[in-house]
């Protein structure tokens, strides 16, 4: 039984790592709007990695042991789910965003997250030890991580496009052909899409915090809850500044980075310290 469980976990994880590695190493066409023949192999490998990644997440986080279901969570599975969600968003918008370099970095990050989730599977929780609201709390928490991660991806693309616009033509070249190539999406639309992801992530984070307050008895101000509330406040200020004062550009991106870092420290950071450094178990 143990060998069977281990094999079920290792096989999709290994396939995901190999497929992501292949996708990140293969060259791709330079024009995102005109798919080159070599792009088919790139996206086939990425799709295979994404599907194997999904299976590995299911096997890693939900397992049958003894008399019932066991849910297993930790810092590494949280990173794995986050990268999986961000890759899904990137794949859905790849025809407009392009950027092979970003695809390679996302594939490498996803491969590392899958490997970490296999090495550090997290803590097991039986159904009897959990509140009935716990699964909803986990789903909203993972959704918040994924949506904020998608917002970070769009912010990085936006900064890349702005740098291209400010880039000077090469010496001895002039005219439209010398102008830097920008994305197949207007920058204002890309900026608006970035804040939509921030807003959706903020809603999911709000629901996560409310559910945590609701079913956790007695409530304790742990490192996870403190960083989560701080992240919520930063995102609230960012959205308020965007709505009231029209924040944009570097100012908005800095607030997004700050809120994302606090959110990362909230669950992933605190669980990493507890699981890896202190070797202690704790509640999810």
Q: Check residue 179 and give its pLDDT.
A: 38
The mean-pLDDT minimum among 52-66, 202-216, 261-275 falls in: 52-66
Clarify whether residues 123 and 196 are in a common domain: no
User: DSSP of the chain, one letter per residue?
Assistant: -HHHHHHHHHHHHHHHHHHHHHHHHS---S-TTS--HHHHHHHHHHHHHHHHHHHHHHHHHEEEETTEEEEEE-HHHHHHHHHHHHHHHHHHTHHHH--HHHHHHHHHHHHHHHHHHHH---EEEEGGGS-TTHHHHHHHHHHHHHHHHHHHHHHHHHHHHHHHHHPPPPTT--SGGGSPP--SS-HHHHHHHHHHHHHHHHHHHHHHHHHHHHH-SS----HHHHHHHHHHHHHHHHHHHHHHH---HHHHHHHHHHHHHHHHIIIIIHHHIIIIIS------
Clarify whether residues 200 and 267 are in a common domain: yes
**Residue 90 is assigned to a structural domain of this protein:** no
Q: Check residue 101 and give its pLDDT.
A: 77
Domain end, chosen from 130, 154, 175, is at 130
| Residue pLDDT, tens place only, 152-172 | 999 988 888 887 777 655 544
Clarify whether residues 258 and 203 are in a common domain: yes
Average pLDDT on 165-191 reads 60
| Residue pLDDT, tens place only, 191-223 | 899 999 999 999 999 999 998 887 766 667 888
Query: pTM for this one?
Result: 0.83
Query: Number of folded domains in the chain?
Result: 2
**Residue 190 is assigned to a structural domain of this protein:** yes
Clarify whether residues 190 and 234 are in a common domain: yes
Clarify whether residues 263 and 153 are in a common domain: yes
**Residue 146 is assigned to a structural domain of this protein:** yes
Q: Check residue 34 and give its pLDDT.
A: 53
Query: CA quadruple 137, 49, 39, 179: dihedral positive or negative?
Result: positive
Residue predicted with more confidence, 223 or 101: 223
**Residue 173 is assigned to a structural domain of this protein:** no
Q: Check residue 136 and give its pLDDT.
A: 82
Phi, psi torsion values for 226, nearest 5 degrees? -65, -50
Domain end, chosen from 84, 113, 130, is at 130
Clarify whether residues 54 and 109 are in a common domain: yes
pLDDT band at 63 (very low <50, low <70, confident <90, very high): low
Statement: residue 5 has pLDDT above 70: no
**Residue 91 is assigned to a structural domain of this protein:** no
pLDDT band at 99 (very low <50, low <70, confident <90, very high): low
d(CA 37, CA 29): 8
Statement: residue 97 has pLDDT above 70: no
The candidate with the shortest Cα–Cα distance to 9, out of 114, 87, 110, is 114
Q: Check residue 19 and give its pLDDT.
A: 96
> Cis before residue 218, ω within 30 degrees of 0?
yes
**Residue 177 is assigned to a structural domain of this protein:** no
**Residue 92 is assigned to a structural domain of this protein:** no
Domain end, chosen from 113, 130, 147, is at 130
Clarify whether residues 231 and 109 are in a common domain: no
Q: What percent of the chain has pLDDT over 90?
A: 41
Residue predicted with more confidence, 138 or 99: 138
Clarify whether residues 224 and 264 are in a common domain: yes
Q: Check residue 237 and give its pLDDT.
A: 97
Average pLDDT on 238-243 reads 95
The candidate with the shortest Cα–Cα distance to 142, out of 79, 100, 195, 97, is 79
pLDDT band at 177 (very low <50, low <70, confident <90, very high): very low
Clarify whether residues 252 and 229 are in a common domain: yes
Which structural domain range is residue 106 located in? 1-73+98-130
Q: Is 200 exposed, middle or buried (0-12, 13-18, 19+ CB in 10 A)?
A: middle
The answer to whether the CB of 14 falls within 8 A of the CB of 36 is no
Average pLDDT, the chain: 81
Clarify whether residues 122 and 259 are in a common domain: no
Residue 62: which residues within 8 A CB-CB, separation 6 or more?
A: 69, 70, 71, 72
Task: Work out whether strand 123-126 and strand 62-65 pair parallel, antiparallel, or are unpaired.
Answer: unpaired
**Residue 179 is assigned to a structural domain of this protein:** no
Clarify whether residues 143 and 274 are in a common domain: yes
Cα distances from 146 to residues 55, 98, 153, 245, in angstroms, run 18, 20, 10, 27
Q: From the centroid of its chain, how far is CA 115? A: 15
Clarify whether residues 149 and 280 are in a common domain: yes
């Amino acid at each position: 039984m143990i060998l069977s469980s281990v094999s079920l976990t290792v096989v999709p994880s290994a396939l995901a790592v190999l497929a992501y590695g292949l996708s990140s190493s293969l060259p791709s066409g330079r024009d995102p709007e005109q798919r080159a023949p070599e792009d088919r192999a790139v996206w086939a490998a990425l799709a295979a990695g994404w599907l194997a990644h999904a299976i590995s997440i299911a096997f890693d986080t939900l397992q049958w042991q003894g008399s019932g279901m066991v849910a297993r969570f930790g810092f590494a599975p949280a990173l794995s789910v986050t990268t999986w969600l961000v890759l899904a968003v990137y794949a859905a918008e790849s025809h407009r965003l392009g950027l092979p370099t970003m695809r390679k970095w996302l594939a490498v990050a996803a491969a590392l997250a899958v490997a970490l989730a296999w090495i550090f599977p997290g803590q097991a929780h039986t159904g009897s030890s959990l509140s009935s609201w716990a699964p909803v709390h986990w789903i909203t928490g993972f959704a918040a991580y994924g949506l904020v991660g998608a917002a970070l991806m769009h912010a990085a693309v936006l900064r890349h496009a702005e740098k291209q616009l400010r880039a000077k033509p090469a010496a001895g070249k002039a005219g439209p052909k010398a102008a830097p190539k920008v994305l197949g999406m207007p920058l204002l639309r890309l900026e608006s899409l970035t804040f939509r992801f921030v807003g959706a992530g903020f809603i999911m984070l709000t629901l996560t915090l409310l559910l945590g307050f609701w079913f956790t008895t007695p409530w304790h101000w742990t490192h996870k809850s403190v960083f989560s509330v701080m992240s919520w406040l930063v995102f609230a200020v960012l959205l308020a500044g965007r709505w009231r004062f029209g924040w944009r550009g570097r100012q908005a991106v800095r607030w997004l980075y700050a809120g994302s870092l606090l959110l990362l420290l909230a669950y992933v950071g605190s669980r990493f310290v507890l699981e890896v450094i202190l070797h202690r178990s704790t509640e999810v």
